[in-house]
Amino acid sequence: MSQRVLILGATSAIAHAYARRKAAEGASLVLAGRRADALQANAVDLRARGAAQVDVVEADLADIASIAEVAASCRANGAFQEVLLAYGILGDQAQAETDLALARKVIDVNFTSAALWLLELLKGQPATQPLTLLVIGSVAGDRGRKSNFVYGSAKGGLERFVEGLQHARAATATRIVLIKPGFVDTPMTDGIAGKGGPLWASADKVAGDIAKAAKSGTPEVYTPWFWWFIMAIIRNVPRVIFHRTNI
Ligand SMILES: NC(=O)c1ccc[n+]([C@@H]2O[C@H](COP(=O)([O-])OP(=O)(O)OC[C@H]3O[C@@H](n4cnc5c(N)ncnc54)[C@H](OP(=O)(O)O)[C@@H]3O)[C@@H](O)[C@H]2O)c1
């Protein structure tokens, strides 16, 4: 029987690159997201690449009140062995500092709804039944910085949440993997000036690292790998120096 995989935020460039890899392995996919036309186009592409079955669920995944209902629609054809939680928004940091509705949206999309989706997915999950949850966080969650702390703190909160779930499910067949990309060339970063260069990765490169992490079940992965070193330095710069930087 083919592996059943749920992709939350299936219109994301990183998620679609990952879904293509799963399609090539013959997986059955459920694509959840809020743009029906883009989901259907992705479904056509994934069927052509070998997916055993592709179903589409159209929903605003950050709508907290409907998470349980949307999850039930996603599970309509059976339980999942793997879930990729990929949706997210960057938001404009300067605007979010004065526009509380935007700040709340960035936090709700990237943290609150994501955390609640993880709880929903684990509800009633038998301890012995294998399930891998792949959660896309960000290197931005490693240290609060003036250039992106609204988004960064939401991703940082998600990291703590995943860490707790990893502890809670350690003795079970559930694997929870936190993926921390650095700069990735996707629509999310189109507004960043000076995009490109050695620190930037493609969505496919990140998808390849997610695939490796899914197979090994490692609890946390930086992608590309060199972000582990960059963030180790950023995390450890003393405050007195850090506060003089402009990052
Ligand atoms: N790109 C980077 O440099 C980078 C770095 C670190 C982490 N990440 C993380 O990687 C993940 C994937 O992002 P990406 O780089 O692939 O960017 P992307 O192509 O812009 O994907 C983001 C996706 O999130 C979806 N989304 C946002 N809010 C949603 C909602 N309420 N309901 C359903 N879908 C929603 C968007 O849907 P629509 O298509 O409907 O807009 C879009 O498909 C995100 O969690 C992001 O935070 C990205």
Amino acid letter, 85: L
Q: What is the pLDDT of residue 193?
A: 87
Could you tell me if residue 174 is inside a domain? yes
* Ligand 1 closest atom vs CA 89: 27
What is the mean predicted confidence (pLDDT) over 212-231? 98
Over the stretch 27-44, which tens digit does the pLDDT of each residue have? 999 999 999 999 999 999
* DSSP H helices in the chain: 13-24, 36-48, 67-74, 93-96, 100-107, 113-122, 149-168, 203-216, 227-236, 239-242
* Mean of pLDDT over the chain: 97
Could you tell me if residue 80 is inside a domain? yes
Q: Which residues line ligand 1 (CB under 6 A)?
A: 9, 11-14, 33-35, 38, 60-62, 86-89, 109, 136, 138, 181, 183-184, 186-189
Could you tell me if residue 247 is inside a domain? no
Residue 121 above 90 pLDDT? yes
- Domain that includes residue 34, residue range: 4-242
Could you tell me if residue 26 is inside a domain? yes
What is the mean predicted confidence (pLDDT) over 148-161? 98
With the most atoms of ligand 1 within 8 angstroms of its CB, the residue from 14, 74, 206 to mutate is 14
Annotated catalytic, 18? Answer: no
What is the mean predicted confidence (pLDDT) over 55-65? 98
What CATH number did the domain enclosing 128 receive? Answer: 3.40.50.720
Q: How many domains does the chain have?
A: 1
Q: Please choose, from the candidates 82, 49, 42, the residue with its C-alpha nearest in 3D space to the C-alpha of residue 177.
A: 82
